[in-house]
Amino acid sequence: MLTSARNQFKGTVSAVKFGPVNAEVDIDLGGSDKLVAVITHDSVTNLGLKAGSEVYALVKASWVILAPENGEMRFSTRNRMYGTVAKVTTGAVNSEVTLDLNGGSQLIAIVTNESVAGLGLKEVVRACALFKASSVILGVKD
Amino acid sequence: MLTSARNQFKGTVSAVKFGPVNAEVDIDLGGSDKLVAVITHDSVTNLGLKAGSEVYALVKASWVILAPENGEMRFSTRNRMYGTVAKVTTGAVNSEVTLDLNGGSQLIAIVTNESVAGLGLKEVVRACALFKASSVILGVKD
Amino acid sequence: MLTSARNQFKGTVSAVKFGPVNAEVDIDLGGSDKLVAVITHDSVTNLGLKAGSEVYALVKASWVILAPENGEMRFSTRNRMYGTVAKVTTGAVNSEVTLDLNGGSQLIAIVTNESVAGLGLKEVVRACALFKASSVILGVKD
């Protein structure tokens, strides 16, 4: 275990695009799963990131919002990952929902039990995981 | 239920102000409740947002900090929504606090039981909900 | 208690560096503990922040990721605070981990029980707390 983040996606940087302050880092997780992180120029330099770099993308489970796959909504989040519910573990207030993503990665989200019921989340149901590019933390192995 | 976010505020865009990279979207929730979201220019375009657009602002309950209404503090968060505690649901570690906002909307925050005690949060007590404009996710119905 | 945030670090602004939109505020917590917050220019003005200002930095416990102290990883987060586990309080799903930071401050993180086991977090173990500069909320007393 690298960190306490439930989602620690290992991937390869496919592109780094520099804006005036921040840089957008596109990451290929294998299969068809992709995600985007926004970090500072300094962090790109410190981590030595460039196309082809191996990187870990950390996303805490509590930072993810779940939505129906074929909802009638469009969202502002850069990251929208689609998958099938593989498991729902229910606690007193919150549930942990595991999605098998289309490209083969797994993603974990913590949502309230009320949301699990309201969205009908259970095994085999399709869902979409939303999180902002600015929520993603990147790490590299030395 | 649109998504797993406990706070899904339906509102109307009152203004979109473009900065060099991001845009600030002012949203009127009706009554006197307002909030601000910061999203990228691309997202503004993709969602077709302009003054008058109907929009949903998603804020996960765990992203909200509660403070006393008439505290002696000023904060850096763009969003500071005031209201009256309507309900406190206590779990083993965390509590879910529902605020009736001044303008008629409801807001839910997840805070620790220790904070509920420390801030004296219970029905009819006044409180302030703090969250950053960059935490807000916007959605539109197709 | 000022707010519901479990981490309310009292410190002194050591520097304010202005970027095109946001400003980076360096904060000295005493001892050797330091942290960085990124807020808007407007917030710097509204809070009257400058070198020497007394400020509170709020970081919700659920926004913190824990990692091994001497891990083989480098991360993109601006804030990396090192310390010794002082206490682990275990709930049904999550645990609250208290770190005694090197400089004398305390920091609380909420992580899953699985992470506590996976990282071997228990009293006296060394750990690193990661959180983004953009997650930090600043407050000043009037």
User: What DSSP element (H or E) covers B139?
Assistant: strand B137-141
Asked if A51 has any chain C CB less than 8 Å from its own CB, the reply is: no
Phi, psi of B68, deg, nearest 5: -65, 150
User: Which tokens is A91 given?
Assistant: 């606690």
Q: What's the mean per-residue pLDDT of chain A? A: 95
Contact B56 A73 (CB under 8 A): yes
In the predicted structure, residue A71 carries a pLDDT above the cut 80? no
The three-class DSSP label of residue C2 is: coil
Q: Using 50, 70 and 90 to split pLDDT, how confident is the model at C94?
A: confident
Q: How confident is the model at residue B94 (pLDDT cuts 50, 70, 90)?
A: confident
Query: 3-state SS of chain B: helix, strand, coil percent to 5?
Result: 15, 55, 30
Q: Is a pLDDT exceeding 80 seen at residue C92?
A: no
- B70 in C contact zone (CB under 8 Å): no
- Residue of B108, B116, B66 whose CA lies nearest to B91: B116
The pLDDT value given to residue C75: 96
Q: Residue A141's beta-bridge partner residues?
A: C73
pLDDT at A19: 87
Helix (H/G/I), strand (E/B), else coil: B14: strand
Of the partner residues B71, B76, B93, the one whose CB lies closest to the CB of residue C2: B71
B46, closest residue in chain A (CA to CA): A76
Q: Do the Cβ atoms of B96 and B108 come closer than 8 Å?
A: yes
**For chain C, which domains are there?**
7-59+133-139 (2.40.50.100), 61-131 (2.40.50.100)
Residue B84 · residue B10 · CB < 8 Å? no
- Hey, is the C-beta of B67 within 8 angstroms of any chain C C-beta? yes
Of B1, B6, B89, nearest to A119 by CB-CB distance is: B1
Q: Are the beta carbons of C67 and A3 separated by less than 8 Å?
A: yes
**Residues shown for chain A:** 142
The overall average pLDDT reported for chain B is 95
| pLDDT on residue C1 | 84
**Prediction pTM value:** 0.94
Average pLDDT on A47-59 reads 98
Work out the pLDDT band at B82, boundaries 50, 70, 90: very high
Give me the total of CB pairs closer than 8 Å, taking one residue from chain A and one from chain B.
81
| Minimal CA separation from A4 to chain C, in Å | 5
